[in-house]
Structure 1
């Protein structure tokens, strides 16, 4: 009997199970109906025993990584020398102007701002750049601030300020790691130990940088001792120039390459870049039944295709399963068609074209280029 079967057995031992088991041992000539003396005497005990069975089932489930949840899973992670990834804070860049549209120089580190809207997002200034723009972080961790670009209002009083605006998301945040993601990390086969600058070691380095969503490692890409890291942010989009610079300085500072002043081993010259976006435009003919609004159905189709592309980027750093080395990914027209056909109201659809071609797209992953699939224009005729 495996743990799943044992837990299921305990789960089946409910109130009725224990009550009937005890009543089976009562002589037949004694009244056993609900409301009888013997029934009322045994029912409370049956309830307690059912609760104990449920507790046993819970203990068994929380004992193993495969079924543990919440803090129980956190404890198992600690036993494996890791921990649940915490939610991070969105990092943004903002400009601060006076009434003439000129940058002001009296915004201070620690000043606070808020987005406009019914549910404002609060930001704190962390750094003032030489061009008088500021680097801010959202006060609340999580992805809520990842999509806001626009005007912000001062919370800290500033008489010189006429206009403040977020102009760029420097590093999108991530939410707290889910049970499923943490469980997958813990159960993943550890074929290689992170050691001495091997590929697993570099992946471990990237995993410790909160702003990095995923990465690819290309060893000896430009000769012995050279390593290229290709990174995306927490939105699984190409890393910004600021994030690329930050990761470079953490792993192998630009002013002392190969000297071991970062996380990389001595003599490793590390290059950090963002992937090359491959914009994919999609066109298909779709037949929609008469009971659904055409515009709503088309909007849902575009949303479903967008989710498919997001899942592609989520698997972008998966090792090629055929060779066990390098990376491989293909955008399949059949899978996009499947996404279209699953939308309510769609009765038929043509196999879509990708960038005006009737072929699937195999992404390029080599020492010079690492492509990242990005959804472009979606044209739905019919």
Structure 2
């Protein structure tokens, strides 16, 4: 926050008391313990507290200072401030995915069947529960796939592939369950910093008359949306395409896409039934993911023993962070070879590297990411 106004500066109990005693005539005893000192000391304390309250009130009155940097905290004052401009905090979103059931052919798995990850008694990690959103029947090979949604909304529902192994609902004939792919698109209740960013986008870049800025604002009002690319004239005059990312900068789930579609143009006939003006036909779509596969030969440091798996995880984490930073960046739509190399050199336990290939290409070429596409991390192969 900017400097406090003069009337709120230096308002400590000691300084307030000194100013009060200075106003007492010099021929009156005002030493500590005297009647005058004892009478004014409590007043000075209460005035100093009032000054602190005024400082806090001033801090909470502005969006930039009401917002907290703590991702676990949600400022009620920020909610009130942004609501003045029609911006409300986005709610948490449940992760979605798919599981594969195995068992006796012909077995029916009803919608609403509960499955989960196993709880860990050692670490105290709780099971993450999911429910099937559609019925399924095991085919002749004894397998069936079914869509699932996390029971509790939030990022905790984004679990890796292969970890959903527990049948919480008893279904006769089912022998096992697993998730071939990670569950995705789960998001926590919007953080203060994210809400503040949307607030600034609204007040500093006014959307009007269905311009690109306004379509982005409309789409970002939906919980779980982490990025929007607007494509005017998507399929000719009178059409607008909206490519969507989730908060992990991956292609948005079908639930998020459908929520955006219903919010902006539910009928897709140009009648203006949603927020979009009458005329344009708006189509919401998940972004197209472009996998970035990395293979590299590394030389490890000897001072700090490490495993190739540890190095692989560090490389994957660094590259994933980089790809999230450039998602939907049309000013520089390139996955740069030099930036990938920089990630490798920033890892302390890697002394040097060689034979770096990106998507099987050994030449130092950048990869261009087209409109509606997003680069995501594929496989990371590390060898010595």
Q: Same fold (TM over 0.5)?
A: yes
Shorter-chain TM-score bucket reads 0.7 to 0.9
Structure 2 vs 1, CA of residues 233 and 28 (structure 1 numbering), >3 Å: closer, same or farther?
same
CA distance in 1, matches of 2:354, 2:9: 47
CA distance in 1, matches of 2:199, 2:299: 43
Q: State the SS of the aligned residue for 2:8.
A: helix
Match of 1:325 in 2: none
CA distance in 2, matches of 1:285, 1:158: 49
Match of 1:317 in 2: 328
Offset at residue 144 of structure 1 (A): 0.6
Match of 1:94 in 2: 99
Structure 2 vs 1, CA of residues 262 and 272 (structure 1 numbering), >3 Å: closer, same or farther?
farther
Please say if residues 11 and 57 of structure 1, whose CA atoms lie closer than 8 Å, have aligned partners that are also in contact. Answer: no
Q: For residues 331-346 of structure 1, what are the structure 2 equivalents within 5 Å?
A: 331=335
Structure 2 vs 1, CA of residues 318 and 78 (structure 1 numbering), >3 Å: closer, same or farther?
farther
For structure 1, the residue ranges without an aligned partner over 5 or more in a row are 321-327
CA distance in 2, matches of 1:52, 1:380: 64
1:329 aligns with 2:333: yes
Match of 1:235 in 2: 248
Match of 1:365 in 2: 370
Please say if residues 129 and 135 of structure 1, whose CA atoms lie closer than 8 Å, have aligned partners that are also in contact. Answer: no
Q: How many residues align?
A: 358
Match of 1:141 in 2: 153
1:8-45 CA distance string (max 9 Å, x none)? 97364233332333344454984645x66655544333
Among 2, 5, 9, the residue aligned to 2:3: 5
Offset at residue 174 of structure 1 (A): 0.8
Match of 1:324 in 2: none
Match of 1:151 in 2: 164
Please say if residues 333 and 360 of structure 1, whose CA atoms lie closer than 8 Å, have aligned partners that are also in contact. Answer: yes
CA distance in 2, matches of 1:137, 1:93: 8
CA distance in 2, matches of 1:17, 1:375: 63
Among 201, 205, 228, the residue aligned to 1:191: 205
Offset at residue 90 of structure 1 (A): 1.3
Aligned Cα root-mean-square deviation (Å): 4.1
1:74 aligns with 2:57: no
Offset at residue 223 of structure 1 (A): 2.4
CA distance in 2, matches of 1:175, 1:227: 29
Q: State the SS of the aligned residue for 2:64.
A: coil
Match of 2:123 in 1: none
Offset at residue 56 of structure 1 (A): 0.5
